[in-house]
Amino acid sequence: MKSWKEYKIEDIGIVVGGATPSTKDSSNYDGNIPWITPKDLANHNGRYISHGERMISLQGFNNCSCQMLPKNSILFSSRAPIGYVAIANNELCTNQGFKSIIPNNNIVDSLFLYYLLVYYKPVIENMGSGTTFKEVSGSVMKNLAINIPEIDEQKKIAAILSSLDDKIELNRRINRNLNIAA
């Protein structure tokens, strides 16, 4: 096995927070921009997500500090609760309950980073602070030290883990279909 090197998250990607358009103005919603909240990931079993329960409008997007995240960005819920992880299946944005990572594809594979953050979830949860509910700040996320191998080894590891998840997801679909047929 090749050597693994320590990086801070900010060295392998850009950490991006999300935002919520004012809910007092209904024209901020029911648009065509996918917008994800931690609630959308609460019962989400797949690795990839395309949209959440609500969509925002262009006006809503422009009226808050949302940033469009490119496909294959890693969504990581940073509060309420900490540790939901998903991969953007398309361009989308999130509410302020996320510290998402736009990975530098020259250093880190998106799928590998997804699995790594799932693995690091307990560590990151313990770094949360706050009295009402725990939250991980952008600074904490940026400075999180992780160890990763060279990109080719990352892709091999991610491929193995992904093939296992593919089988799990297939079994879930089969079970759902059996339950519907019963």
Q: How far apart (Å, rounded) are the C-alpha atoms in residues 120 and 146?
A: 9
Quick one: pLDDT at residue 173? 84
**So what's the pLDDT on residue 169?**
85
Report how far residue 145's alpha carbon sits from residue 161's, in angstroms, rounded to the nearest whole number.
22
Which residues are paired to 13 by β-bridges?
103
Alpha carbon distance 143, 131 (integer Å)? 22
For strand 29-36 and strand 145-148, is the pairing parallel, antiparallel, or unpaired? unpaired
Which domains, ranges and CATH numbers included, belong to the chain? 5-181 (3.90.220.20)
Is 87 in contact with 74 (CB distance < 8 Å)? yes
Neighbours of 57 (CB within 10 A): 19
pLDDT of 2 reads 63
pTM listed for this prediction? 0.92
Share above pLDDT 90 across residues of the chain, in percent, rounded to a whole number: 84
Q: What pLDDT is attached to residue 106? A: 97
Listed as ranges, residues in the chain with pLDDT below 50 are: none
pLDDT at 1 (0 to 100): 52
3-state secondary structure the chain: CCCCEEEEHHHHEEEEECCCCCCCCHHHEEEEEEEECHHHHHCCCCCEECCCCCEECHHHHHCCCCCCECCCCEEEEEECCEEEEEEECCCEEECCCEEEEEECCCCCCHHHHHHHHHHHHHHHHHCCECCCCCECCHHHHHHCEEEECCHHHHHHHHHHHHHHHHHHHHHHHHHHHHHHHC
pLDDT in tens, 19-36: 999 999 999 999 999 999
If one counts every other C-beta atom within 10 angstroms of the C-beta of residue 67, the result is 16
Integer Cα distance of 175 and 171 in angstroms: 6
Encode pLDDT of 112-144 as tens digits.
999 999 999 999 999 999 888 899 999 999 999
